[in-house]
């Protein structure tokens, strides 16, 4: 590409540059990382995005931070590996595809069958993986694409099987019956994390269960209440508190304590509860005591409709202060009842089929749906006179996050990972600092969650995922099981690649649904194991369940590097360097990666975890497609450019807060930005208030609305970053336009001017700050520092000041070299955040000033992506030069302000004097020649004894006073007004300081340095005041 300076456009055309630059980087193989023992590794694994859909702005933030660190470390000379990939996201993806099939083709997964459905999901995965990887590329993520992984690909699948086998062999995996959250639509168990609750209007049914053979003084009925009356078909007991008196006493104490602590407004409510409690004591307590005694005597209740005899039991779950004090117990369909069932060794009767209809255990209600069964049960009980009453009531309905259908608690066979030891290992890793979490406050949630050490249910009744590598067979007798076990173990294929375990028979009274009591579970390390065929021929059947998607994600840092093989990659890049993720998956993902890494590899998966903020909309709500407030990163890239998106993301990443991003629609007709409100974000079409034309939104469903052009969802917040990119572009453009005749040569240090030394000092400081910032995850600080430096210091001062020298033939060569060098440094500093625009400029600069450098010009690295990160000699940092320059900047501002306030025509040059001490004068003198070009002022005199022009405008600073000669120009009114205001302000400041100094305690206790500072302050302010008074007096005479 041969570009001459004059051809450079005044806008960076990212649209055409992006593909070209990506090709440049790809062709050079710069994203690819190979182990190199000579160099230090740096590795980040991407949190694999779900293949459920396209990336959103949260991903853009996440991935930008990762790539920024990758690029930074690559420039620092490390072998930087950014490992890309996607997650199969089990239930989420299957749910999306199933929903799509239902909508578009009206088929269910049962119509298709397992194989075909899985094939369809693979199609979906291919499509979205491509889309996601494309998005990452357009974000500029310098991922090693050759290593792209998928949590369900062969490599990950092998790691999953080996891990499962290992845990199984260590007896850390077991099968058990557990109550799970059943999604009747997807027909799978979903984890607690995938359940949301919604408050809905429901009913509260009060039922009467007859007591069998009531004796004198005993109640004929027990009264129980439920929000789900159909579950009574699975009742196996009614519970009452073992000691209702004590329980009521305890409750009363608690109420009284609360009464004392509560504010007055809440007291009446508590007091009325206390009154109710007393009523309860007289009316209900005797009856509860009787029932508790009956329970101890082994008495029973008749379960209506099914005519089953069920025991009356005592359990503290039944609270005497609530309802009737009695609770129906349905162990197979309620989590709390399940606990009671375990404690009281109750039978557990499952009344549900997996599709949500009732099974044979429900008697005549078999095959009814839950909804129908509820109506029927209620009607039948009512007819029998056993329905006491019905209340309306708000109830919390658990819903499956994926299918939005109500969750049914359901007893099913599930596989579990024992967490006790594994969790402890992960707790220890953070406690002893092998894993460091930033910000530190997130370590608490991590540790608390792990400390519960709750076993991890890992099986999912899905078709999309890693099928559990276990083959099982049931046996009537232990002997039969043992015989088969012996036979299999004798088989030649039975080697270390297989493990068979005998499942202990369940306790007699626990389960009522299976005849077989003994199970052999054969776990295979490798699916292809010859033993699979053997055991299948013996009647073993493979588990149809798949593993929780987090099981494979937990292995991500080592499975992607080739584990279980001892690959060079694993050896070199593991443990990875930094994990960057969002806080909502610290437990689900981060904790599990730590414990699996420790178990499988024996080392933590990463040393640093950085938790970044979340992006919220202007109302503080999380962005999501379902709300319509989500921003598509590609829309932002189209409108503002990839560098602006990235810079904005880094700029937003502060340590303390989540980030609010007010969202706008962009009218596709006239580009007007329309603020998104909670109302208009739900509309299918919106009329632009400016051009009055309509556009469609993501909610457009009618053909008419869909035909309208779609309005982008964007945020004006990206404008800052876009403007910054433009500024950088034009500064570079200017520099390159003035490079004509450039010759490389070492900088002549003798000829460095004050501003050169100032720039070097600032550059050295800024480079050090940026380095430290990126090392310490101070993303926003780094972005701010670079922004300020580039715009204010480099563009507004240095480049402006350099213009004179560039126009002067004698000074031009060194000025060009300095300019090229400074730009070179800035490009390198900004590259990790803004890769495209900086690389584009680098390429252009290469053809104009290929050799550059400060001490010795060298050929610039062919590409910026692998250029060395700037390291400037700290000796360049010079506080004296910087203070000298600050003085100059203050003088410039003062001069400019006077011009503005006096409304002096821009081209009109004025003359001025500066009154100051000799020391200040000596500092300002060398910069005096810049006043005409930068502020249209000619410095006539400077020093302690200058003659003050009359009439003049005055500006009193701490270190100097400026008087601008305004002969024939002055606006007396404006000047007086402004000085009066200044006068009042200074008086205020003086008073503040004097009252401080008048305080003996302050003078006595504050450090001498602080006291002195206050004294100096007063003196300086008084001098300023004096100047103003003199000026005012003079002006008022006119």
Judged by CB under 7 A, the chain residues 333 through 372 that form the site for RNA are 335-336
Residue 197 binds to RNA (criterion: CB under 7 A): yes
Q: Could you give the angle at which helices 114-139 and 642-652 cross, rounded to 10 degrees?
A: 90
> Residue 318, interface with RNA (CB under 7 A)?
yes
Tell me the closest approach of the beta carbon of residue 963 to RNA, in angstroms. 17
Closest contact distance (angstroms) between CB of 586 and RNA is: 8
Question: 380: burial class by Cβ within 10 Å (0-12, 13-18, 19+)?
Answer: middle
Binding piece for RNA, criterion CB under 7 A, among 132-140, 550-558, 583-591, 759-767: 583-591
Binding-site member from 300, 353, 861, 893 for RNA (CB under 7 A): 893
What Rg value do the Cα atoms of the chain yield, rounded? 38
810: number of Cβ within 10 Å: 8
The three-class DSSP label of residue 37 is coil
Nearer to RNA, 67 or 959 (CB): 959
Residues 792-811 that bind RNA (CB under 7 A): 795-796, 799-800, 803
Locate 312 and state its tokens: 């009356």
Query: Does 281 help bind RNA (rule: CB under 7 A)?
Result: no
Q: Applying CB under 7 A, does 228 fall inside the site for RNA? A: yes
Q: How far is the CB of 427 from RNA (least distance, A)?
A: 16
Least Å distance, CB 896 to RNA, is 4
Binding RNA (rule: CB under 7 A), the pick from 659, 688, 927, 964 is: 659
- Find the binding residues for RNA in span 661-680 (CB under 7 A): 661-662
Structure tokens at 608: 């640093």
Q: Does 192 bind RNA (CB under 7 A)?
A: yes
* In the complex, least distance from residue 662 CB atom to RNA, rounded to whole angstroms: 5
CA distances from 234 to 36, 94, 182, 229, 836 (A): 64, 31, 16, 10, 65
Question: Tokens for 885?
Answer: 């320059």
Could you tell me the two tokens for 923? 């500092």
The residue among 355 and 396 lying less far from RNA, judged by its C-beta, is 396
Separation of alpha carbons 667 and 675, rounded Å: 11
Size of the site for RNA (CB under 7 A): 99
Sole binder of RNA in the list 104, 751, 1001, 1037 (CB under 7 A): 1001
Q: Which of 135, 15, 6 is nearest to 840 (CA)?
A: 15
Residues 506-545 that bind RNA (CB under 7 A): none
The pair of three-digit structure tokens given for residue 351, joined into one six-digit string: 């009344």
Taking CB under 7 A as the criterion, the residue among 789, 1017, 1028, 1035 binding RNA is 1017
Residues 898-927 that bind RNA (CB under 7 A): 899-901, 903, 906
Choosing from 252, 455, 536, 719, the residue that interacts with RNA (CB under 7 A) is 719
Instruction: Name the one range near RNA by CB under 7 A: 130-138, 421-429, 525-533, 581-589.
Output: 581-589
Q: Which is nearer to RNA, 599 or 790 (CB)?
A: 790
Binding letters toward RNA, positions 377-406, x by CB under 7 A: ------------------xx----------
Contact 1000, 985 (CB under 8 A): no
Would you call 260 helix, strand, or coil by DSSP? helix
Q: Residue 572: name the closest of 1033, 30, 28, 40 by CA.
A: 40
Name the one range near RNA by CB under 7 A: 282-290, 602-610, 858-866, 1003-1011: 1003-1011
Alpha-carbon distance of 900 to 22, in angstroms, equals 47
In three-state secondary structure terms, 294 is: helix
Mark 158-187 with x for binding to RNA (rule: CB under 7 A) and - for no binding: ------------------------------
Q: Is 412 helix (H, G, I), strand (E, B) or coil?
A: strand
Q: In what order do the strands lie in the sheet with 221-226?
A: 221-226, 195-210, 387-400
- Pattern 958-997, RNA, x by CB under 7 A: x--------------------------xx--x--xx--x-
Cβ 758 vs Cβ 884: under 8 Å:
yes
Distance CA 563, CA 678 (A): 48
For RNA, the closer of residues 147 and 738 by Cβ is 738
Q: Does position 734 bind RNA by CB under 7 A? A: yes
Distance CA 411, CA 90 (A): 21
For the record, the structure tokens of 453 come out as 């050490």
Contact 207, 388 (CB under 8 A): yes
- Out of 242, 323, 684, 943, the only residue in the binding site for RNA (CB under 7 A) is 323
Residue whose entry in the numeric block shows the structure tokens 């490009």: 827
Residue 327 touching RNA (CB under 7 A)? yes
Q: Which of 719, 582, 581 is nearest to 645 (CA)?
A: 719
| Contact in structure between 651 and 615 (CB atoms under 8 Å) | no
Task: Count how many Cα atoms sit within 13 Å of the Cα of residue 134 in the half-sphere of its side chain.
Answer: 10
Considering only 584, 808, 873, 1022, the residue that binds RNA (CB under 7 A) is 584
Q: In this chain, which of 16, 282, 656, 945 binds RNA, going by CB under 7 A?
A: 656
Residue of 153, 635, 655, 971 that binds RNA (CB under 7 A): 655
Q: Please tell me whether residue 444 binds RNA under the rule CB under 7 A.
A: yes
Distance, C-alpha 470 to centroid of its chain: 36
- Which residue lies nearer to RNA by CB, 30 or 317? 317
Binding mask 231-260 for RNA (x = CB under 7 A): --------x---------------------
By CB under 7 A, what part of segment 585-624 binds RNA?
587, 616, 618, 620-622
**Cα distance from N-terminal residue to C-terminal residue, the chain:** 66
Q: Choose one: 108-116, 323-331, 861-869, 874-882; the region binding RNA (CB under 7 A).
A: 323-331
Region from 127-135, 540-548, 652-660, 825-833 binding RNA, contact rule CB under 7 A: 652-660
Q: What is the DSSP letter of 904?
A: -
Judge whether 471 and 536 are in contact, CB under 8 Å: yes
Among 485, 969, 1006, 1034, contact with RNA (rule: CB under 7 A): 1006
């Amino acid at each position: 590409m041969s570009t001459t300076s004059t051809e450079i456009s005044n806008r960076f055309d990212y649209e055409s540059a992006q593909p070209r630059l990506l090709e440049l980087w790809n062709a050079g193989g710069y994203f690819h990382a190979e182990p190199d023992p000579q160099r230090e590794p740096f590795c980040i694994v991407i949190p694999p995005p779900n293949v459920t859909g396209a990336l959103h702005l949260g991903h853009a933030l996440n991935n930008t931070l990762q790539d920024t660190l990758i690029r930074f470390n690559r420039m620092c000379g490390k072998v930087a590996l950014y490992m890309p990939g996607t997650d199969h996201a089990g239930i989420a993806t299957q749910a999306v595809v199933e929903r799509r099939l239902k909508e578009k083709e009206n088929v269910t997964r049962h119509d298709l069958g397992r194989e075909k459905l899985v094939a369809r999901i693979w199609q979906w995965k291919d499509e979205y993986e491509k889309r996601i990887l494309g998005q990452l590329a357009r974000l500029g993520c310098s991922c090693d694409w050759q290593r792209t992984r998928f949590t369900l690909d062969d490599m990950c699948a092998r790691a999953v099987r080996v891990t499962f086998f290992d845990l199984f062999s260590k007896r850390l995996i077991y099968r058990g019956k557990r109550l799970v959250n059943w999604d009747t639509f997807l027909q799978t168990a979903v984890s607690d994390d995938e359940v949301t609750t919604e408050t809905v209007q429901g009913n509260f049914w009060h039922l009467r269960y007859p007591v069998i053979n009531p004796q004198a003084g005993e109640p004929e009925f027990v009264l129980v209440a439920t929000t789900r009356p159909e579950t009574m078909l699975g009742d196996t007991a009614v519970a009452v508190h073992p000691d209702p008196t004590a329980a009521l006493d305890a409750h009363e104490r608690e109420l009284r304590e609360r009464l004392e602590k509560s504010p007055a407004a809440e007291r009446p409510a508590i007091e009325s509860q206390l009154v109710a409690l007393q009523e309860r004591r007289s009316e209900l307590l005797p009856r509860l005591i009787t029932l508790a005694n009956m329970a101890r005597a082994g008495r029973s209740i008749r379960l209506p409709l099914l005519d089953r005899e069920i025991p009356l039991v005592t359990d503290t779950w039944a609270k005497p202060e609530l309802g009737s004090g009695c609770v129906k117990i349905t162990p197979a369909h309620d989590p709390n009842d399940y606990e009671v069932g375990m404690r009281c060794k109750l039978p557990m009767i499952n009344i549900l089929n997996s599709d949500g209809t009732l099974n044979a255990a429900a008697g005549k209600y078999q095959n009814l749906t839950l909804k129908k069964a509820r109506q029927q049960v209620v009607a039948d009980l009512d007819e029998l006179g056993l329905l006491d009453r019905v209340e309306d009531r708000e109830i919390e309905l658990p819903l499956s996050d994926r299918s939005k259908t109500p969750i049914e608690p359901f007893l099913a066979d599930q596989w579990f990972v024992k967490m006790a030891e594994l969790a402890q290992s992960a707790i220890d890793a953070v406690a002893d600092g092998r894993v460091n979490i930033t910000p530190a406050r997130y370590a608490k949630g991590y540790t608390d969650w792990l400390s519960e050490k709750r076993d991890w249910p890992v099986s999912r009744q899905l078709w999309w995922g890693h099928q559990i590598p276990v083959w099982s067979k049931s046996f009537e007798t232990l002997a039969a099981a043992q015989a088969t076990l012996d036979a299999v173990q004798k088989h030649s294929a039975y080697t270390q690649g297989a493990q068979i375990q005998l499942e202990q028979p369940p306790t007699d009274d626990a389960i009522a649904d299976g005849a077989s009591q003994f199970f052999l579970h054969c776990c295979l390390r490798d699916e292809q194991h010859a033993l699979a065929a053997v055991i299948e021929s013996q009647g073993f059947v493979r588990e149809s369940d798949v593993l929780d998607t987090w099981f494979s994600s937990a292995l991500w840092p080592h499975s992607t590097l080739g584990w279980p093989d001892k690959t060079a990659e694993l050896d070199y890049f593991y443990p990875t360097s930094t994990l960057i993720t969002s806080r909502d998956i610290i437990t689900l993902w981060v904790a599990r990666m730590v414990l699996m890494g420790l178990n499988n590899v024996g080392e933590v998966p990463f040393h640093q975890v950085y938790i970044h903020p979340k992006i919220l909309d202007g109302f503080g709500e999380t962005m999501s497609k379902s709300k319509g407030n989500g921003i598509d990163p590609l829309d932002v890239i189209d409108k503002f450019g990839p560098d602006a998106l990235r810079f904005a993301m880094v700029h937003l990443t502060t340590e303390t807060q989540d980030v609010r991003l007010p969202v706008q629609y962009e009218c596709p007709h006239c580009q007007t930005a329309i603020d998104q409100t909670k109302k208009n974000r739900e509309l299918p079409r919106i009329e632009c208030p400016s051009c009055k034309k309509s556009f469609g939104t993501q909610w457009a469903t009618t053909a008419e609305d869909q035909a309208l052009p779609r309005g982008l969802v964007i945020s004006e917040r990206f404008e800052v970053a876009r403007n910054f990119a433009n500024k950088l572009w034009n500064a570079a453009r200017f520099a390159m336009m003035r490079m004509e005749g450039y010759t490389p040569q070492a900088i002549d240090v003798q000829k460095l001017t004050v501003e050169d030394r100032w720039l070097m000092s600032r550059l050295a400081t800024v480079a050090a700050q940026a380095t430290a910032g990126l090392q310490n995850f101070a993303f926003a600080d780094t972005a701010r520092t670079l922004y300020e430096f580039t715009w204010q210091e480099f563009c507004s001062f240095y480049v402006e000041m350099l213009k004179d020298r560039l126009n002067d033939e004698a000074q031009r060569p060194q000025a060009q070299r300095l300019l090229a060098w400074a730009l070179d440094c800035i490009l390198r500093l900004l590259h990790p955040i803004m890769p495209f625009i900086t690389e584009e400029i680098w390429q252009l600069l290469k053809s104009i000033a290929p050799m550059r450098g400060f001490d010795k010009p060298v050929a610039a690295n062919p590409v910026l992506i692998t250029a060395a990160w700037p390291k400037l000699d700290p000796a360049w940092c010079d506080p004296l030069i910087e203070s000298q320059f600050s003085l100059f900047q203050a003088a410039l501002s003062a001069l400019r302000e006077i011009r503005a306030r006096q409304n002096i025509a821009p081209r009109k040059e004025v003359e001025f004097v500066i009154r100051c001490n000799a020391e200040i004068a000596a500092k300002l003198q060398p910069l005096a020649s810049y006043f005409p070009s930068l502020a249209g002022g000619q410095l006539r005199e400077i020093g302690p004894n200058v003659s003050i022009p009359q009439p003049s405008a005055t500006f009193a600073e701490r270190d100097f006073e400026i008087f601008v000669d305004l002969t024939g120009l002055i606006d007396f009114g404006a000047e007086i007004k402004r000085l009066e205001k200044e006068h009042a302000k200074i008086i205020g400041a003086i008073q503040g300081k004097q009252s401080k100094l008048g305080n003996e305690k302050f003078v006595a206790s504050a450090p001498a340095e602080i006291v002195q500072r206050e004294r100096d302050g007063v003196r300086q302010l008084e001098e300023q005041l004096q100047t103003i008074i003199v000026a005012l007096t003079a002006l008022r005479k006119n």
